Amino acid sequence: MTGLAVDDAAWASTWRPRAVGDKLLLTLGLVLCALVLPVWPGSLLVGLTAVGLALGPARVPARVFARAVRLPLAFVAVGAVTAVVQVSTDGIGWAPDAAATGGALVGHALAGGAAVMLLATTTPVSDLLPALRRARVPAAVVEVASMIYRLLFVLLISMRTIREAQTSRLGYSTARRSYRSSGLLAAAVLTRSWDRARRLQGGLAGRGMTTDLRVLPEVLPSSRSFLAGTVLGLTVLCGLTVVLS
Amino acid sequence: MHIAEGFLPPAHAIGWTIAAAPFVVHGARAVVKEVRENPESTLLLGAAGAFTFVLSAIKLPSVTGSSSHPTGTGVGAILFRPPVMALLGTVVLLFQALLLAHGGLTTLGANAFSMAVVGPWAGYGTYRLARRASGNLLVGVFAGMMIADLSTYVTTSLQLALAFPDAESGFLGAAVKFLGVFAVTQVPLAVAEGFLGVLLFRVLTVN
Amino acid sequence: MSGGRLAATDVVVGYSRGSRVLDRASLAVPEGRRLAVLGANGSGKTTLLRCLSGALVPASGRISLDDAALEHTRRGLQAHRQQVQLVLQDPDDQLFSASVAQDVSFGPLNMDLAEDEVRARVVEALELLAVTGLAARPTHQLSYGERKRVAIAGAVAMRPRVLLLDEPTAGLDPSAVTEALAALDRLQRRGSTVVMSTHDVDLALGWADEVAVVVDGRVVQGEPEPVLGDDALLARARLDRPWALSVGARLHQLGLLPEGPLPRDTEALLAALPTGTAPTTPGRS
Amino acid sequence: MSGGRLAATDVVVGYSRGSRVLDRASLAVPEGRRLAVLGANGSGKTTLLRCLSGALVPASGRISLDDAALEHTRRGLQAHRQQVQLVLQDPDDQLFSASVAQDVSFGPLNMDLAEDEVRARVVEALELLAVTGLAARPTHQLSYGERKRVAIAGAVAMRPRVLLLDEPTAGLDPSAVTEALAALDRLQRRGSTVVMSTHDVDLALGWADEVAVVVDGRVVQGEPEPVLGDDALLARARLDRPWALSVGARLHQLGLLPEGPLPRDTEALLAALPTGTAPTTPGRS
């Protein structure tokens, strides 16, 4: 495997063949709901929906999803605590509504994070890039982004192998050696990346590359019932939030 | 350390997206022009972006015992200039948000402003100044990469302070808090990234 | 040097260090036959293939197709590449797209074919290489052997008359080699001329109709048996003699092999030897 | 499973997709003998070597050295790495310093040795691998075979008791293979235990004192002849039977080979066969 668990999950997801537009409508809808709806019960509903859809119909492994959503927790916790601590002339204390403000921050962040991960674990990044093209992003920019996606896996493997070789030769046994090894590692990966680009250029010229990297667009048919379900679901979610809050 | 999804209030998310947009569009124009004049540069720019992504995955040991990752935008700014880095940095941030759950979509604008705009420009400016003042490439690289890293986190702290002003002391008090938590702790890591840059350029200039 | 539709004549390629990689090398690619280009690493066999494909401009000499010299202009190269495709040794040097099917479509699209035609060619190429099942898989999840075959499919989809392959079996395990050779057979039966570079003399003897050894910047071309049985040539080329020729020659002397060409691989040798009475597996396990 | 100083016992390594790469695999590395680890690509032989080197932590099972279990702590691994070194297949991803001598000195420098000692070890390692002439060269200018040998020198300079090599001959031409094997011989004579992974059964038969086949997540270990003559095992492992065993068995039946172990390579086979009268080269060139 490639080692980027979210990417592996996206390619293996049962939602991978769904139209990117369908998934974008649903997930961006959830992201927006997480952002603008009041935390109770909006965030809870968005979070539950995202988790339910990912683990249920989209068949994303629970472990991958949980780990991905957990990753930003350190930032969210530290950031939320910092936001609700009050600094005044008589020292440091909690702001008056610390619990509510902190809770709201964590709630919004978790719900939003889960919604973004629903997109990320069901849609490979390379599927999203053609959608950028439809959103009027210049072709050259989309092609550069596609190359980044392809090459980052090649370079990640290089980086891991070099680091393993360095570790094996005791390159990370002290902090000082770790710095030195990291510098050598960064330089090695940089030279590899240039070399890769140069060689790929030769390889693609041989395949008749002219000015762009044109490929056959993949046809992923849009589903009316999925779109209808999305609109209905998001409406119900907003309605419930308004009624309950 | 990127601002997580859902952490910024909607108005701030929109505001920072608008603030970052002109720089990113400017960078996109630079890339389009470069690719039109020189079709092969698609591959080179792709490699540069992939390198930035991978570099930010290299773990640096910090003095405090924990470890952190370089921002990687300083080296890109020195090698490819800040406008190009504004675009590549934003693409890398999008990839980090989706592949690593690092950052977010609604906070992409805010993160792009700090990491793909302020960091590269501040780093590049410092690099030019320090290199001219000292006459030494490595001094310039060290200062440039350190400032690129540090200015990114200072910007992030100020963004958070703007979004969450202190109830009593307002923006200034909040700025002190967030800078204390997110930027002061970053100083040793910024120094580490500066050293990483020196090691990296030393190897590159030997070859 | 004639008769081949694709040919190199007196090609000189010199590198910076003064010594020439190719020094008036000539090669005629026999149409419809399997040609193995043999040489040690660094002998210049990759350079020769790159010259034949148009990727490298020789310092002097000419590359010709149907007796017309290749012109290294944009237009000349474009026409040449539609007929002659080179598959590089490292598949990561040619695969750029995240999806297998999209990557294979790149070459045909560059030929300005209609979308339906491109789609048909992608399907055909994936089938010929027996990688249809990988169409929807991301490139970066494939194994090395799978990536190699997808890279070949990318060239095959352009329906070249001549397919040049640089070390297509390097790094593959025996079953992957068998699969790769079977795919090349399907291509050849469909009318393509297949040229493979390798330093595996046993493989070349078993597979090729004709061999070309790159040695000291030149090419010695001929039927496999005399060329791969020429010890002086092989020593200069830093190659081994195929075991089947060494063993076969001795067994022929001992009267155990019939007259005619020597067997080229284990199966042929065992089939040609008289059968004994005991079972074929040694009784020592 | 005992007697080996370095051993893996009931090692399990599972990947995300549910299927296990290694499923209670056990291997004892025989001290001072040449061990070839055989398996198709993807069989798990690299995974096994990475477990033995400490680079990979198995889900269960243990790695032991001198009957003491390896603890995957900072300290435990550091001690292990001074005794066991793994050289990976791709040299490009193991050379990361500017010059050959610098790269080889990386390991010894990290062992806190005095500078003189480091210098001596670098000289020694370069000599053992016959790459002394390359010491001052930048690593990216080397040929593939040279890079492979320099990567091995980097591990050898740490004077490990056990040297694990992942496909050290892959991608090398015959003369480079000969040179690499000669270097491994010198290492072994100096007292190191050498373990090599490969999918080249002919090479393994000719080189190894003992072989281990990785198949279905487990390891079948033994003397080369019975293991590499076991057709059912080889079929499961997607490996070929070495030609020398197939041909040798038939010739043995025909009464042409003396009793005793079968010859393992061309030279041995030709030496064991009765001599004919005609010259050894076929008379057709």
Q: Are A148 and B87 in contact (CB under 8 A)?
A: no
Average pLDDT, chain D: 90
Asked if D78 lies within 8 A of A173 by C-beta distance, the reply is: yes
**Other chains touching D, judged by 3 or more CB pairs under 8 Å:** A, B, C
Mean pLDDT of C191-202: 94
Q: How confident is the model at residue B170 (pLDDT cuts 50, 70, 90)?
A: confident
The predicted structure's pLDDT at residue C285: 38
DSSP letter string, A1-16: --S-HHHHHHHH-TTT
pLDDT per position as a tens digit, A224-233: 999 999 999 9
The predicted structure's pLDDT at residue A179: 85
The predicted structure's pLDDT at residue A2: 55
Q: Is the pLDDT of residue D2 over 70?
A: no
The predicted structure's pLDDT at residue B162: 95
The fraction of chain C above a pLDDT of 90, given in percent, is 77
Distance, in Å, from the CA atom of D201 to the CA atom of C254, rounded to the nearest integer, reads 28
Q: Which residues of D touch B201 (CB under 8 A)?
A: none
CA–CA min distance A46, chain D (Å)? 28
| CATH number 3.20.20.210 is the correct assignment for the domain at C6-241 | no
pLDDT per position as a tens digit, D152-196: 999 999 999 999 999 999 888 898 899 899 999 999 998 899 999
In sign, the C-alpha dihedral spanning C119, C121, C124, C126 is: negative
The predicted structure's pLDDT at residue D284: 42
Query: Percentages helix, strand, coil for chain A, rounded to the nearest 5?
Result: 75, 5, 25
Comparison of pLDDT for A19 and C278, the residue scoring more: A19
Q: Which residues of A touch B46 (CB under 8 A)?
A: 143-148, 150-151, 197
Asked if A113 lies within 8 A of B49 by C-beta distance, the reply is: no
Asked if D250 lies within 8 A of C273 by C-beta distance, the reply is: yes
Q: How confident is the model at residue D280 (pLDDT cuts 50, 70, 90)?
A: very low
Q: How confident is the model at residue D274 (pLDDT cuts 50, 70, 90)?
A: confident
Asked if C141 lies within 8 A of A214 by C-beta distance, the reply is: no
The predicted structure's pLDDT at residue C1: 39
The predicted structure's pLDDT at residue C98: 92
Distance, in Å, from the CA atom of B129 to the CA atom of D199, rounded to the nearest integer, reads 57
Lowest mean pLDDT across A21-30, B17-26, C202-211, C251-260:
C251-260
How far, in Å, are B39, C88, C156 from residue C125 at the CA level?
27, 17, 6
Those residues with Cβ within 8 angstroms of residue B79's Cβ, 6 or more apart along the chain or in another chain: B48
Mean pLDDT of C23-33: 93
List the strands of the sheet with D20-29, edge to edge: D20-29, D6-14, D60-65, D68-69
Distance, in Å, from the CA atom of D141 to the CA atom of D161, rounded to the nearest integer, reads 31
Chain A interface mutation, best of C49, C53, C77, C92, highest count of A Cβ atoms under 10 Å: C92
Asked if A161 lies within 8 A of D140 by C-beta distance, the reply is: no
The predicted structure's pLDDT at residue D81: 95
Give me the residue from B43, B98, B168 closest to A125, CB to CB: B98
Distance, in Å, from the CA atom of B30 to the CA atom of D80, rounded to the nearest integer, reads 52
Three-state secondary structure call for residue A19: coil
Lowest mean pLDDT across C79-83, D81-85, D90-94, D129-133:
D90-94
Q: Which residues of A touch B56 (CB under 8 A)?
A: none
* DSSP conformational letter for D111: T
Three-state secondary structure call for residue D188: helix
The CATH code belonging to domain D11-241 is 3.40.50.300
The predicted structure's pLDDT at residue D109: 95
Asked if D140 lies within 8 A of B207 by C-beta distance, the reply is: yes
Q: Angle formed by the axes of helices A98-120 and A73-84, to 10°? A: 160
CA–CA min distance D109, chain A (Å)? 9
State phi, psi for A180 to the nearest 5 degrees.
-60, -45
Question: How far from chain centre, in Å, is Cα C161?
Answer: 14
Average pLDDT, chain C: 90
Distance, in Å, from the CA atom of D138 to the CA atom of B49, rounded to the nearest integer, reads 27
For residue A41, say if its preceding peptide bond is cis, omega within 30 degrees of 0.
yes
The predicted structure's pLDDT at residue C10: 96
The predicted structure's pLDDT at residue C255: 86
What residue ranges define each of the domains in chain B, with the CATH number in brackets?
10-202 (1.10.1760.20)
> B61: closest CA among B205, B188, B204, B202?
B188
Distance, in Å, from the CA atom of B175 to the CA atom of B156, rounded to the nearest integer, reads 10
Asked if C254 lies within 8 A of D239 by C-beta distance, the reply is: no
Question: Whole-angstrom distance between the N-terminal and C-terminal Cα of chain D?
Answer: 54
Q: Which residues of A touch B60 (CB under 8 A)?
A: 178-179, 182
The predicted structure's pLDDT at residue D141: 83
Polymer length of chain B = 207
Q: Are B17 and B108 in contact (CB under 8 A)?
A: yes
Mean pLDDT of B172-178: 90
Q: Are C118 and C40 in contact (CB under 8 A)?
A: no
Mean pLDDT of D87-96: 90
Question: What's the token pair of residue B166?
Answer: 């202190």
Q: Are B102 and A71 in contact (CB under 8 A)?
A: yes
The predicted structure's pLDDT at residue D277: 55
The predicted structure's pLDDT at residue B188: 84
Residues in chain A, pLDDT under 70: 1-2
Asked if C230 lies within 8 A of D285 by C-beta distance, the reply is: yes
The predicted structure's pLDDT at residue C278: 45
User: Where in chain A are the domains?
Assistant: 5-123+222-244, 143-206
Asked if A188 lies within 8 A of D96 by C-beta distance, the reply is: yes
Closest chain B CA to residue D141: B207
The predicted structure's pLDDT at residue A223: 94
* DSSP conformational letter for D60: E
Q: Residue C247: how many CA atoms within 13 Å on its side-chain side? A: 29
The predicted structure's pLDDT at residue D236: 95
pLDDT per position as a tens digit, D46-71: 999 999 999 999 999 999 999 899 99
Q: Measured between CB atoms, does B167 come within 8 Å of chain D?
A: no
> C89: closest CA among C20, C134, C29, C41?
C41
Lowest mean pLDDT across A102-116, B64-78, D219-233:
B64-78
C and D: number of Cβ contacts within 8 A = 132
DSSP letter string, C160-192: -SEEEEESTTTT--HHHHHHHHHHHHHHHHTT-
Burial string for C17-49 (b: 16+ CB within 10 Å, else e) reads eeebbbbebbbbbbeeebbbbbbbbbbbbbbbb
CA–CA min distance A217, chain C (Å)? 7
Helix ranges restricted to H, chain B: 10-37, 41-55, 73-80, 82-99, 108-111, 119-134, 137-163, 170-178, 187-206
Q: Are D282 and C230 in contact (CB under 8 A)?
A: no
pLDDT per position as a tens digit, C168-187: 999 899 999 999 999 999 99
Q: Measured between CB atoms, does D141 come within 8 Å of chain A?
A: no
Q: Which amino acid is at D237?
A: A
The predicted structure's pLDDT at residue B206: 66
Distance, in Å, from the CA atom of A46 to the CA atom of A57, rounded to the nearest integer, reads 16
Q: Which residues of B touch A203 (CB under 8 A)?
A: none
**Around Cβ D192, how many Cβ atoms within 10 Å?**
20
Q: Which amino acid is at B153?
A: Y
